[in-house]
Amino acid sequence: MIATVPGYRAPMDAVSLGKAGLQGWRAKVADAVAGPVAQRSPFTDEQVRAAVGAAFFVLSVVYVVQAVRQLQRT
């Protein structure tokens, strides 16, 4: 429905969203972890990379929230 509106694209799936933030050293970490974890779990390499990307995103949000809270206290 959203994709039919001019100027809007279809929403990203969860795997694409998780992998979107994997740049530089974070991508290297995800690449190093994806294979071994995928072999030992029912998840694919892409799903593991997406989970690592999502974890890095959550950590970034937590860091920013903590910094804002500290700034408000001073």
Q: Which residues contact 27 (CB under 8 A, 6 or more apart)?
A: none
What pTM, to 2 d.p., does this model score? Answer: 0.76
Q: How many domains does the chain have?
A: 1
- Mind listing the pLDDT tens digit for each residue in 44-72? 999 999 999 999 989 999 999 999 999 99
Please give the residue range of the domain that contains residue 50: 2-73
2-7 mean pLDDT:
67
Q: What pLDDT does 29 receive?
A: 93
Task: Report which of 54, 61, 58, 59 is spatially closest to residue 16, judged by C-alpha positions.
Answer: 54
Q: Which residues contact 56 (CB under 8 A, 6 or more apart)?
A: 21, 22, 26
Q: What pLDDT does 2 receive?
A: 53
12-27 mean pLDDT:
84
Instruction: Report the chain's mean pLDDT, rounded to a whole number.
Output: 88
